[in-house]
């Protein structure tokens, strides 16, 4: 199997792997999937993800198709580097291999400008025209004209709040704080038309490549608010040179007034997803973000 054959017959890739006709080297693939580097007969390499046997259940229907659709949609914007999808099968996703590089301030600023250009490419509505996933959880991508605030509360906060409460990850106190945020969602301001966003943009989904290029991987892509991507970047320690990323972004497309006060609001989505997936370990983080979000909207109300 070479590159030309793979492009013409991606459905044959699992058979070649089963019969060990392709060189396969395990690599780090995150917390969800098993990952490997595949090297074809012509020397071309790919990154392949499969659903691990240790998961104890079959791969969810449409899981890899959703990621492939998001990658292609982000790549279509021609703004930020996104690996090409080489094969998207029910049990496997193969992407062009990205040779790793070093994080540099120059790469960070370039990435900030490119991320702004990606967001500016826009989306026809909030959501997407494919069924979504974030982590292993379904994400409701039903297309919605907005406004953003009502859509965000209904599609991105409430479903994962319910999951977290039902599973015991959040108690009455933490749930009450998030419910206050949802009830006051229209007071935060900052509503904008839908941007083309990555949707799961924590630092682990940012790859620093060669030649000062930064690549986006593992998206939960959809039409959303651009501040959501930037808020997620700041979670879990953030990427190297985050200040330079933000500087490059602001140079290309300045953010609306009050965006820093809204970061905890946007972070609530991903934190609720984590509490749904990993339980009580994220209880305090959810409560802190909800409290900070409410503090920000109260300050804005007083200042206004």
> Which of 37-46, 64-73, 126-135 has the least mean pLDDT?
37-46
Which one is the CATH code of 3-96: 3.90.1530.10, 3.40.718.10, 3.50.50.60, 3.30.200.20? 3.30.200.20
Q: Which residue has the tokens 């079959």?
A: 58
Q: How does DSSP classify residue 208?
A: E
The pLDDT, as a whole number, for residue 4 is 81
Asked if 13 and 24 touch (Cβ cutoff 8 Å), the reply is no
Cα angle 255, 261, 265; round to 5 = 100
CA end-to-end distance (rounded Å), the chain: 64
In the chain, residues under CATH classification 3.30.200.20 are 3-96
The pLDDT, as a whole number, for residue 303 is 43
The pLDDT, as a whole number, for residue 300 is 53
Q: Which residues pair with 50 in a beta bridge?
A: 34, 92
Give the residue with greater pLDDT, 29 vs 300: 29
Average pLDDT over residues 259-267: 97
The pLDDT, as a whole number, for residue 46 is 92
Inter-axis angle of helices 259-278 and 283-303, nearest 10: 160
Report how far residue 224's alpha carbon sits from residue 232's, in angstroms, rounded to the nearest whole number. 13
The pLDDT, as a whole number, for residue 304 is 42
Give the number of other CB atoms < 10 A from CB of residue 50.
19
User: In sequence order, which residues have a C-beta less than 8 Å from that of residue 139 and are 6 or more positions away?
Assistant: 132, 133, 156, 199, 220, 222
Record: fold of 105-303: Aminoglycoside 3'-phosphotransferase; Chain: A, domain 2 (3.90.1200)
Mean pLDDT of the chain: 93
Q: Has residue 55 got a pLDDT over 70?
A: no
Residues of the chain with pLDDT > 90, as a percent, come to 81
The pLDDT, as a whole number, for residue 22 is 80
Q: Which residues pair with 81 in a beta bridge?
A: 215
pLDDT band at 51 (very low <50, low <70, confident <90, very high): confident
> Which of 30-34, 129-133, 163-167 has the least mean pLDDT?
30-34
> Which of 83-87, 149-153, 228-232, 298-302 has the least mean pLDDT?
298-302
Q: Which residues pair with 222 in a beta bridge?
A: 197
Q: Has residue 17 got a pLDDT over 70?
A: yes
Helix ranges (H only) for 77-204 are 105-120, 148-151, 158-166, 172-183
Average pLDDT over residues 116-133: 98
In the chain, residues under CATH classification 3.90.1200.10 are 105-303
> Which of 23-27, 94-98, 257-261, 286-290 has the least mean pLDDT?
23-27
Greatest distance between any 2 Cα atoms in the chain:
67
The pLDDT, as a whole number, for residue 29 is 67
Average pLDDT over residues 284-294: 98
Average pLDDT over residues 235-256: 97
The pLDDT, as a whole number, for residue 301 is 47
CA dihedral 129, 64, 118, 201 (to 10 degrees): 120
Q: Which residues pair with 85 in a beta bridge?
A: 95
The pLDDT, as a whole number, for residue 40 is 84
Q: Has residue 54 got a pLDDT over 80?
A: no
């Amino acid at each position: 199997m070479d590159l030309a054959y793979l492009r013409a017959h991606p459905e044959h890739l699992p058979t070649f792997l089963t019969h060990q006709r392709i060189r396969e080297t395990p690599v780090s693939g995150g917390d969800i999937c098993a990952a490997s580097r595949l090297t074809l007969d012509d020397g071309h390499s790919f990154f392949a993800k499969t659903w691990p046997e240790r998961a104890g259940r079959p791969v969810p229907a449409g899981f890899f198709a959703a990621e492939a659709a998001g990658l292609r949609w982000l790549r279509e914007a021609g703004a930020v580097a996104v690996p090409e999808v080489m094969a998207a099968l029910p049990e496997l996703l193969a992407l062009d291999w990205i040779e790793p590089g070093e994080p540099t301030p120059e790469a960070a600023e370039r990435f900030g400008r490119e991320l702004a250009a990606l967001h500016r490419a826009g989306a026809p509505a909030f959501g997407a025209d494919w069924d979504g996933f974030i982590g292993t959880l379904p994400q409701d991508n039903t297309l919605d004209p907005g406004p953003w605030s009502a859509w965000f509360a209904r599609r991105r906060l409430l479903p994962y709040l319910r999951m977290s409460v039902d599973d015991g990850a959040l108690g009455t106190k933490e749930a009450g704080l998030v419910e206050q945020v949802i009830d006051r969602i229209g007071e935060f301001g900052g509503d904008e038309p839908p941007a083309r966003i990555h949707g799961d943009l924590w630092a682990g989904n940012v790859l620093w490549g060669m030649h000062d290029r930064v690549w986006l991987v593992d998206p939960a892509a959809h039409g959303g608010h651009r501040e959501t991507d930037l808020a997620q970047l700041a979670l879990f320690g953030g990427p190297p040179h985050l200040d330079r990323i933000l500087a490059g972004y602001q140079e290309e497309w300045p953010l609306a007034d009050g965006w820093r006060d809204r970061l905890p609001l946007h972070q609530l989505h991903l934190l609720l997803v984590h509490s749904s997936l990993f339980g009580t370990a994220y209880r305090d983080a959810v409560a802190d973000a909800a409290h900070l979000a409410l503090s920000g909207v109260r300050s804005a109300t007083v200042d206004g």
